[in-house]
Structure 1
Amino acid sequence: MLLDFIPLIGAAAQKLLDLIPDPGARARAAEDYRRALLDIAARAEADQREVNRAEAASPSLFVAGWRPAIGWVCAAALAFQYLLRPLWVWAGAVWWPAAPPPPALDDMLWQLMFGMLGMGSLRTIEKMGGGKSGGAGK
């Protein structure tokens, strides 16, 4: 995914921008770079929305149902990890102290959830835009 390379691309672009001797021209070039990067991200997001609409409109369960299925699996995993497992560990400690605790899920669950919700790269894009998102959660 392109957004995974933003830090690398940003570092290379900053080195190139540092080569511009005129501070005014350097600032304009930096702003043009940020604007172009945000434009690319916005176009990619718009294209993905179109794909999402087409998939959601499909009558096939295998086309329209895969996202909800993964969402329910993620919701079930979160329920297990943060509701059922702690209760299970507590009940085991009270009534079956010799029983081993159930396995725990790792932090990859959060990455899956943020990716599904489209939140994985939003902070990176906001930082590239200079924090001009206008959102309440800066």
Structure 2
Amino acid sequence: MIESLVKPVSNLIGKFVKDKDLQAQLDHELSTLFHQANLAQIEVNKIEAQGKPFQRNWRPSVGWICSFALAYHFILSPIIEVIIKVSGAQIDMPEFDFSQLSAILMALLGMSGLRSYDKMKKTDTKK
């Protein structure tokens, strides 16, 4: 995985650095930085996994909350509005600002998409 990140940057550096030894040194330093970042993320993941249930489960809970809000906005709210109109009741439904929710939801879906891509490519994400 690191190679897939380093190679494009290395190719870009290669356009500006003509000295092959310097290029190799910069490539090595870049690989080292990516590796250190991955190790740091692994440590964060270990700490989160050892935490209390709320610390471990905040991502799934955000996903469920966003899923419920999405269902409310596009399914439940229109049904409730129709029921209110048919019944003749004079109840105003609260406004629902979908812009903030959509930003969070799109970020979660993007992460899910990356995870699905990893599974399709059979990437070992346990490393």
TM-score (norm 1): 0.45
Higher Cα radius of gyration: 2
The structure whose RCO (Cα within 8 Å, separation 6+) is larger is 1
TM-score, length-scaled by structure 2: 0.48
Tell me which protein shows more helix as a share of its residues: 2
